[in-house]
């Protein structure tokens, strides 16, 4: 029987109506409904941002000196304090942002787990989550929720570890690390499986990917958003994608006139293709590199090593100086004077001062104002 099947064509091609080459489920159908993992992460991050703004309560804690005051408790800090339309530094610290002194001196390592869920402001939230939905839902439909969920979580965590190597004494948030993990995953799938995609014009549009990458990275030059988390997430996503997403779609073998393909020949061909496409060496190497990245970052973080001490230009990967903020890791110090129900704060470093029409202010909020003046 095998001799009558001298030639069997095996085609490798993407699904005709998708921008990403689609994998098939066991039943041969697209995983159209399996997008719950990305949805859960998006809902969690929206909830965390709402909670952050509730805690911030600009109207009360900043005595009405807020942007969009009609929002009341949800109003934003003034633009010179937070250009992303978000909370104050002290409230970001309170919600679990990373800061060098809190992580190394006070050993608050739990912040590594809250850091990936925080956003610097409304602009950061909208751009980040829209990008995650655009990229993540498509990847989850193709590869399933389990693999994408693992890649998302691990990329976010490793992004936090990489960010911890370059921290300054200002709060940093890293929700973009998971997004860049998804971008790295998509890139790895395209790189390793490129020759198996016969209709390359139907792949995920590169111009859109570059636009998403650049826009989110540029946003990271503004205060609080950490670009090193994005870099760490991207590297992690690429390595994890090389481990989990190496097998492209196999177009089913066409049946013969009788509607059947001889089982032994079909199984033999599938086995040969599986051995060729799985590339176990590449998977193992990628897994080892990811393990080394994870372990290396953990060791450096736990030993309290700050790479900024050895790299003078590294802070500018994460920050561009502007009139309202600087990139130097200097500790602000102010003198305060209370008189006639007014609070006068003077920066010791540059002599700038400001008079506030209130005196009932917390120590944390006073530090916020001191950083703003200095």
At 275 the pLDDT is 52
User: Mean pLDDT in the chain?
Assistant: 83
- Scan for tokens 């008189």, then name that residue: 339
Residues 29-58 have pLDDT tens digits of 344 556 899 999 999 999 999 999 999 999
At 177 the pLDDT is 96
At 202 the pLDDT is 53
At 25 the pLDDT is 40
At 272 the pLDDT is 54
CA 178 to CA 156: how far, in whole Å?
4
The answer to whether the CB of 86 falls within 8 A of the CB of 120 is yes
Residue 319 phi/psi, 5-degree rounding, is -160, 140
Two structure tokens written together for 242: 């090389």
Residues 324-345 have pLDDT tens digits of 788 877 788 899 988 888 899 9
Section 354-364 average pLDDT: 88
The answer to whether the CB of 80 falls within 8 A of the CB of 357 is no
Section 74-82 average pLDDT: 93
CA 240 to CA 289: how far, in whole Å?
10
At 257 the pLDDT is 45
Two structure tokens written together for 267: 């199984």
Residues 154-199 have pLDDT tens digits of 999 999 999 999 998 899 999 999 999 999 999 998 888 777 665 5
Confidence band, pLDDT 50/70/90 cuts, at residue 7: very low
The answer to whether the CB of 109 falls within 8 A of the CB of 103 is yes
Question: Which among 126, 121, 99 is positioned nearest to 110, based on CA atoms?
Answer: 99
Confidence band, pLDDT 50/70/90 cuts, at residue 15: very low
| Stronger pLDDT, 75 or 105, i.e. the higher one | 75
The percent of residues above 90 in pLDDT, for the chain, comes to 55
Residues 202-260 have pLDDT tens digits of 556 678 888 999 999 999 999 999 999 999 999 999 999 999 987 554 444 445 444 44
| Stronger pLDDT, 94 or 208, i.e. the higher one | 94
Question: Is the pLDDT reported for residue 361 higher than 80?
Answer: yes
Two structure tokens written together for 197: 């995609």
CA 332 to CA 46: how far, in whole Å?
32
- Reported as type and span, the H/E element at residue 16 is none
At 267 the pLDDT is 53
Angle between helices 227-244 and 176-193 (to 10 degrees): 40
CA 240 to CA 283: how far, in whole Å?
9
**Which of 21-35, 128-142, 278-292, 330-344 is least confident?**
21-35
Q: What b/e sequence results for 233-244 when a residue is b if at least 16 CB atoms lie within 10 Å of its CB, and e otherwise? A: bbbbbbbbbbbb
Question: Is the pLDDT reported for residue 93 higher than 70?
Answer: yes
The answer to whether the CB of 277 falls within 8 A of the CB of 36 is no
Residue 354 bridge partners (DSSP): 345
């Amino acid at each position: 029987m095998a001799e009558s099947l001298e030639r069997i064509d095996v085609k490798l091609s993407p699904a005709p109506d998708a921008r990403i080459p689609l994998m098939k489920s066991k039943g041969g159908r697209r995983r159209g409904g399996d997008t719950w993992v990305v949805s859960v992460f998006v809902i969690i991050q929206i909830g965390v941002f709402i909670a952050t703004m509730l805690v911030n309560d600009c109207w009360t804690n900043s005595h009405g000196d807020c942007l969009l005051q009609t929002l009341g408790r949800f109003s934003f800090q003034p633009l010179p304090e937070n250009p992303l339309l978000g909370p104050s530094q002290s409230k970001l610290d309170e919600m679990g942002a990373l800061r060098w002194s809190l992580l190394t001196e006070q050993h608050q390592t739990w912040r590594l787990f809250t850091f990936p869920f925080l956003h610097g402001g409304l602009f950061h939230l909208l751009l980040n989550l829209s990008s995650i939905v655009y990229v993540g839902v498509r990847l989850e439909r193709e590869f399933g929720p389990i693999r994408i969920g693992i890649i998302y979580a691990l990329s976010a965590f490793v992004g936090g570890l990489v960010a911890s190597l370059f921290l300054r004494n200002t709060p940093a948030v890293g929700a973009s690390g998971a997004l860049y993990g998804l971008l790295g995953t998509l890139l790895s799938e395209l790189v390793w499986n490129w020759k198996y995609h016969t209709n390359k014009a139907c792949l995920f549009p590169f111009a859109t990917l570059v636009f998403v990458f650049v826009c989110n990275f540029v946003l990271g030059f503004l205060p609080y958003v950490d670009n090193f988390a994005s870099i760490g997430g991207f590297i992690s996503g690429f390595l994890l994608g090389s481990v989990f997403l190496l097998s492209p779609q196999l177009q089913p073998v066409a049946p013969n006139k009788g509607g059947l393909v001889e089982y032994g020949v079909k199984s033999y061909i599938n086995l040969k293709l599986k051995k060729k496409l799985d590339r176990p060496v590449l998977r193992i190497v990628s897994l080892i590199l990811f393990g080394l990245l994870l372990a290396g970052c953990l060791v450096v973080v736990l030993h309290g090593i700050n790479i900024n001490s050895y790299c003078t230009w590294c802070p500018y990967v994460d920050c561009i100086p502007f009139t309202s903020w600087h990139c130097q890791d200097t500790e602000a110090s102010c003198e305060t004077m209370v008189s006639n129900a007014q609070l006068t704060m003077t920066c010791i470093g540059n002599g700038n001062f400001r008079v506030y029409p209130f005196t009932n202010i917390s120590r944390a909020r006073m530090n916020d104002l001191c950083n703003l003046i200095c």
